[in-house]
Amino acid sequence: MVGIVEVRKLFFDSDLVLRKLDAKSRKVLSKGGAFIRRTARSSIKKSKQKSVADLTAKEARIYAIRVADAKKHGRPKPKRPFAASKPGEPPRSPTGKYKQTIFFYYDEQSNSMVCGPVKLARSQEKIPAILESGGTETVNSGRTVTIRPRPHMAPAYEKERSKIVAMFAGDL
């Protein structure tokens, strides 16, 4: 996965890209990347809190303790855990930061546009790929968890592909 520092050098307004591509290709690839990025970002919704009925036994116990503690000390009721998206749906983002990591840039080797999440400082490199196609990952506690696919980039590309093809054909 490419980091944000490398990607910035390959944005469509950089000197390298301006020298490599003719104006029409640059315009079409840039617009196509923007379409895909917008569609992918809009598919990622903010996480919702689980309903009390949906909490696991462990989550319900912890939540009940936190509610009692808040009531005892006169604090507001705590928030319930966030619900994950269902497999096959786009991922949810509790903070909205994940959708801000989706960029598009020019790939010099393949002479094409690449759109997807980039690696930020101190972030785990494999998570976006696992979200897209599924897989296993070791979490902080040392256990291995299986994550079922939650595609968001491939559906965004499929949705916008006809627009990009039409732009290359000169129809738009």
Q: What is the DSSP string of 126-147?
A: SHHHHHHH-EEEE-TTS-EEEE
Tally of helices (H runs) and strands (E runs) in the chain: 6, 6
Reduced to 3 states (helix: H, G, I; strand: E, B; else coil), residue 94 is coil
Task: Give residue 124's pLDDT.
Answer: 64
Task: Give residue 53's pLDDT.
Answer: 93
Reduced to 3 states (helix: H, G, I; strand: E, B; else coil), residue 19 is helix
pLDDT in tens, 115-156: 888 876 666 667 788 888 899 988 778 889 898 999 999 999
pLDDT in tens, 31-89: 888 999 999 999 999 999 999 999 999 999 999 999 999 999 999 999 999 998 999 99
Q: Which residue has the higher pLDDT, 2 or 109?
A: 109
Q: How far apart are CA 81 and CA 153, in angstroms?
A: 26
- Say whether pLDDT at 10 is over 60: no
Identify the helix (H) or strand (E) that includes residue 5. Answer: helix 4-8
User: First CA to last CA across the chain, in angstroms?
Assistant: 32
Encoded tokens for 155:
């559906």
Say which range, 12-21, 24-33, 158-167, has the weakest mean pLDDT: 12-21
pLDDT in tens, 94-123: 888 888 888 888 777 777 788 888 876 666
Whole-prediction pTM value? 0.75
- Say whether pLDDT at 21 is over 80: no
- Say whether pLDDT at 172 is over 50: no
**Listed residue (17, 26, 38, 7) closest to 157, CA to CA:** 38
